[in-house]
Amino acid sequence: MDLSTLDFAELLQLKNDVDVEVRRREVEEKAKAKKQILEIAKAYGFSVEDVLGGKVAPTASGRKPVEVKYRHPNDESLTWTGRGRKPLWVVALLDSGIDLDSLRV
Tens digits of residue pLDDT in 23-34: 999 999 999 998
Residue 54: inside a domain, yes or no? no
Instruction: Please provide residue 101's backbone torsions phi and psi, each rounded to the nearest 5 degrees.
Output: -60, -25
Residue 43: inside a domain, yes or no? no
Residue 26: inside a domain, yes or no? yes
What domain count does the chain have?
1
Distance CA 78, CA 20 (A): 9
* Boundaries of domain holding 68: 3-34+60-103
Residue 40: inside a domain, yes or no? no
> pTM of the entire structure?
0.44
User: Within the chain, which residues score under 70 in pLDDT?
Assistant: 54-61
pLDDT at 51: 81
Residue 37: which residues within 8 A CB-CB, separation 6 or more?
48
Helix (H, G, I), strand (E, B) or coil at 75: coil
Residue 29: inside a domain, yes or no? yes
Residue 49: inside a domain, yes or no? no
Q: Based on C-alpha coordinates, what's the Rg of the chain?
A: 19
